[in-house]
Amino acid sequence: MENGGAARTSRSWASPVGIRIGYGSSELIRGPEQALEYLTGRWPVTNGRYYDLAKLKCAAALERRASAEEAREVFISAAIEAYVFA
């Protein structure tokens, strides 16, 4: 079944989420893996209720312990919380 590695798989959302960090152009986040990369590496606010929850939900979605769409909804809330939702 698995190759002995983690159970992480690439999953996409039905509809991407637009964010804009700083003065850059808007970017489309297409799934929980990309969202988790942004949350851990580029997110401007590293505290907050939805930030922490989004990290947990995106990781859970990658391990198929939560739906990708659940992770998307929490990611949108985190983007609103951090004022990066575009």
Task: With H, G, I as helix, E, B as strand and everything else as coil, classify residue 18.
Answer: strand
- Give 34's Cβ-side CA count (13 Å radius): 13
Please write the tens of the pLDDT for every residue from 20-53.
999 989 999 999 999 999 999 999 999 899 999 9
Give domain limits for the chain.
31-81
Length of the chain (residues): 86
**pLDDT bracket for residue 5 (50, 70, 90):** very low
Question: 31: burial class by Cβ within 10 Å (0-12, 13-18, 19+)?
Answer: buried
Q: How many CB atoms lie within 10 A of CB 50?
A: 19
- Asked whether the whole model's pTM tops 0.85, one would answer yes
pLDDT band at 10 (very low <50, low <70, confident <90, very high): low
Question: Which pLDDT score, from 0 to 100, does residue 2 have?
Answer: 39
Say if residue 69's pLDDT is above 60. Answer: yes
H/E element holding 71? helix 68-81
